[in-house]
C-alpha cells in the first residue's frame, strides 16, 4: 500500500450488482473503476460531458485487473488511483480496498484520447492532468 494514490472514492455495492454466486460480477468492477476515474476528473476540474462536448473522447485500450477478494451484498469499498503518462497513453493505477484496507482488486487501465475522431498524442489530457501526473 505504498502506491502514491492521489484520489480516493468511497462506494457501496448496490444489491443489483451482485450476481447468482452472491458476489459482485467481475464486469461491475470496470464500472467502479470508470466511475472513480470520472469522479477524479470532475475533481480535477473537467467532466466527461465537457470533454465529449469539446470533441475529446478518452478511450480505454488495455485493462488488467486482478480480483483478490470478493465483494458481496452490503459491502463498502474504498477506490483509489494514481496515474502516469507514457507518451500518448495515460496509465491509471487503480486499487479497490475494503474499509479495513484489505485489497479487493488491483488494476491498471490504459487510456488514449481521441480528438475529433482521431487518435491524439495526449497533449490536451496531459495539460489537464498536469498537476496530478507522476
| Distances from the Cα of 61 to the Cα of 37, 43, 73, 74, 78, angstroms | 15, 23, 31, 32, 24
For the bound state, the minimum distance from the C-beta of residue 53 to its own copies, rounded and expressed in Å, comes to 9
Using the contact rule CB under 8 A, the part of the chain among 61-69, 80-88, 89-97, 118-126 near its own copies is 61-69
For the bound state, the minimum distance from the C-beta of residue 130 to its own copies, rounded and expressed in Å, comes to 23
Q: Does residue 70 belong to the site contacting its own copies (CB under 8 A)? A: yes
In terms of C-beta density within 10 A (0-12 exposed, 13-18 middle, 19 or more buried), how is residue 134 classed?
A: exposed
* Options 5, 8, 44, 67; binder of its own copies; rule CB under 8 A: 67
The three cell numbers locating residue 83: 496515474
Cα maximum dimension of the chain:
44
* Options 1, 4, 45, 64; binder of its own copies; rule CB under 8 A: 64
Name the nearest CA neighbour of 112 among 35, 32, 58: 58
CA–CA dist 95, 103 (Å, integer): 7
For the bound state, the minimum distance from the C-beta of residue 49 to its own copies, rounded and expressed in Å, comes to 4
* Options 62, 76, 121, 134; binder of its own copies; rule CB under 8 A: 62
| Distances from the Cα of 5 to the Cα of 73, 92, 134, angstroms | 27, 10, 10
By C-beta, is 4 or 31 nearer to its own copies?
31
- Would you tell me which residues interact with its own copies (CB under 8 A)? 14-16, 18-23, 25-28, 30-31, 34-35, 38, 42, 47-49, 52, 57, 59-68, 70, 72-74
Amino acid at each position: 500500500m505504498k502506491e502514491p494514490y492521489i484520489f480516493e472514492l468511497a462506494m457501496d455495492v448496490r444489491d443489483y450488482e451482485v450476481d447468482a454466486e452472491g458476489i459482485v460480477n467481475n464486469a461491475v468492477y470496470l464500472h467502479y473503476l470508470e466511475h472513480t476515474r470520472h469522479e477524479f476528473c470532475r475533481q480535477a476540474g473537467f467532466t466527461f460531458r465537457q470533454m465529449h462536448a469539446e470533441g475529446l473522447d478518452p478511450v480505454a485500450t488495455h485493462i488488467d485487473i486482478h480480483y483478490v477478494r470478493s465483494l458481496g451484498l452490503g459491502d463498502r469499498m474504498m477506490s483509489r488511483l494514481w496515474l502516469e503518462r507514457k507518451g500518448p497513453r495515460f496509465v491509471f493505477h487503480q486499487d479497490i480496498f475494503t474499509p479495513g484496507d484489505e485489497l479487493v482488486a488491483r488494476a491498471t487501465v490504459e487510456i488514449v484520447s481521441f480528438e475529433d475522431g482521431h487518435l491524439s498524442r495526449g497533449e490536451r489530457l496531459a495539460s489537464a492532468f498536469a498537476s496530478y501526473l507522476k
